[in-house]
Structures are given as structure tokens and as C-alpha cells.
Amino acid sequence: MKKAAFLLLCLSMTFFAGCKTMGVVSEVGTTVGVASGTISESQAEAIKRSSAALAKSFEDITPEQEYYIGRSVGAVILSSYKVWNNEKATDYVNVLGQTLALYSRTPETYRGYAFLILDSDEINAFAAPSGFIFITRGMLRLCNNETELAAVLAHEIAHVSEKHGLKAIRRSRLTTALTTIAVEGAGAFAGGHLAELTEAFGGSVADITGTLMTNGYSRAFEREADAGAVAILRAAGYDPAGLPNMLSAMEIHLKPGAPDFANTHPAPRNRIAELRQMGVQARTIQAHHVRDARFKNALGSV
């Protein structure tokens, strides 16, 4: 068995093993490898260190770590979008968002929630770990009133509360952990083998943001976020009908194949049907003079 092939076998074993057994699998595999002369002791140590890094990726992430992960994801998002420089609108969205967050399952995050408007005609919104929430001007234009805007923000807040972004990142971090294997083995393997391993297990932080911006959350996660949004809206005194109302508007305005909400979310009609099963249906939102006035005042120029 070639050394590179042996290493790939060890990695496969540790990848599919549970957290508690990773160390045992790695120990047994490397012991056999050294005894048979397939790998050297230094190569065995590289595998053990890398297996430890992989096991560590399953550990609970602290609020502080989640915050810095969220900041990193946010930075990547802002490398693709410009911020809308409108203080009045930004303050309004933040006050509304912060208020809704108080009624969520996670009313506080490390250093708090932060809401930002992206200067884009796309109809989209993103929720990064630790409460970094982004909404485009295109999405704001679809909102007819504060209740509908609250529905969009509540959905994104629910993603944060359910740690959907963090769960996606945990899966992606396995790629980063496997990349460590190639790095750790740099001093032990020949150039050809190292290049092969680097190519096979290469990964970067871009994989994390790709999950959020390109692939989107799973349908199960979106269903959880919709259910969470309904709970938040009801608790905060908003009509949950604002959510199916917004989805109905998206059904009309979203363009197939465009890099927007339709590309990263289940079809609006499916979500509307699931909301109906929750007892929430689209309907005309009752006028609320105070809310309507501040909505128009803050977002009239959107």
C-alpha cells in the first residue's frame, strides 16, 4: 500500500468515526502503519495531530467564537455588496430588529444583534452567526408596511436563534480540519504526495460563506425559521400574516436563476403551504397609524 493511500484510508476512518472513537481509530491505524513500515513515526504523529483537530471541530463553539465566525462571514458578504449609507433607515431597521430579537429564543448574543441594509436591488436577506443580519434594498421595497418588514427580520432572527448558520459552519469546518492534515504532513511527505493530499482535502473559509450565500439553508431549517418567525411576531404583537404576505410578493417578483432569495430558499409557494398548516394565511394587514407613519418616514426613499 502506498503511503499516500494509507493516509487517505486513515483520514476516511477518522472522518466517519464518532467523536469518541476518532482518537482510537487514529491510534490503531498509525500503530499498524508504523509496525508494517508503511509510514514513518513522524508521519504517524502528523496523522494523530490532524485527527485531534478533526475531533475538535465537533466541540461546542463558545459565544465569543460564534461572534468572530459571524464577523468573518459578514466581512465576506460585504466584499460582495455595498452598504446603503442611509442613517435614518439603518437606525429604524436596527430598532425594529433589536425589538423583535427580544422575543426570540436567543434575545441576546455576544455583543448583540446588528442589522445592516445592503445597497442592492436583489431581493435577499442573510443571517450570519451571532446575530449579523443583512437585508437588501430590493427586499425592503417589497415590504408594504412595518408588519411585513418585521416578518422578514423575524425569519432571519430565528435562523440565528436556531443556530442554523453555526450548524452549517460546523459541517464546513470539517473541510478546514482535513486541510490541516495536509499542512501537518508537509514535513513528512514527498512533494507529489503532499500535492495530492492538498488537492484532495483543500478547503477554506470560503466554504462556510458559500453555504450561506450560494447553497442556502436546508428546507427543514427554513421551516424552523418560519415557525420561529411566527412565534416572534405573535409575541411582539405583529400579525404573523405578514410572513405569507411577503412570500406571496416574492413569488411574483423573484426571477428564476437570479442570485437572490430564490436561489437560496425553498419556493415561496411551498413555504406558504407549510405556514397554512401552522394556521397562518396571507391577508390584508390592518392599518396601524403609528407603525405605518414611522415605516414610511424611515423607508420612503428606499
Give, as one character, the DSSP assignment of residue 131: G
CA–CA gap between residue 117 and residue 148 (Å, rounded) = 16
Q: How far apart are CA 70 and CA 235, in angstroms?
A: 27
Quote the CA–CA distance of 92 and 23 in Å, as a whole number: 51
With H, G, I as helix, E, B as strand and everything else as coil, classify residue 128. strand
- Asked if 270 contacts 148 with a C-beta cutoff of 8 angstroms, the reply is no
Query: Residue 288: how many CB atoms within 10 A of its CB?
Result: 16
C-alpha cell at 172: 464546513
Which pLDDT value is given to residue 267?
Answer: 85
For residue 90, count CB atoms less than 10 angstroms from its CB and return exposed for 0-12, middle for 13-18, buried for 19 or more. middle
Q: In what order do the strands lie in the sheet with 132-136?
A: 114-118, 132-136, 125-128
Query: What secondary structure does DSSP assign to 17-85, as a single string?
Result: S-HHHHHHHHHHHHHHHHHHTSS-HHHHHHHHHHHHHHHHTTSPPPHHHHHHHHHHHHHHHHHHS-B--
> Can you tell me the distance from the alpha carbon of 40 to that of 31, in angstroms, rounded to the nearest whole number?
10
Query: What is the structure's pLDDT at 146?
Result: 98
Between strands 114-118 and 132-136, the pairing is: parallel
Length of the chain: 302
| CB neighbour list of residue 218: distance below 8 Å, 6 or more residues apart | none
Contact call for residues 138 and 81 (beta carbons, < 8 A): no
Residue 108: predicted pLDDT: 95
Query: Which grid coordinates belong to 259?
Result: 442570485
Q: Which three cell numbers stand for residue 95?
A: 430598532
pLDDT tens for the 302 residues of the chain, in order: 444 444 444 444 444 344 444 444 445 444 545 555 655 676 666 555 555 554 454 455 789 878 887 888 898 899 999 999 999 999 999 999 999 999 999 999 999 999 999 999 999 999 998 999 999 999 999 999 999 999 999 999 999 999 988 777 555 444 544 454 445 444 554 555 444 444 433 333 455 566 667 777 888 999 999 999 999 999 999 999 999 999 999 989 887 666 666 566 778 899 999 999 999 999 999 999 999 999 999 999 99
Cα distances (angstroms) measured from residue 282 to each of 143, 240, 242, 261, 267: 14, 9, 7, 19, 16
CA 94 – CA 76 distance, rounded (Å): 21
What is the reported pLDDT for 191? 53
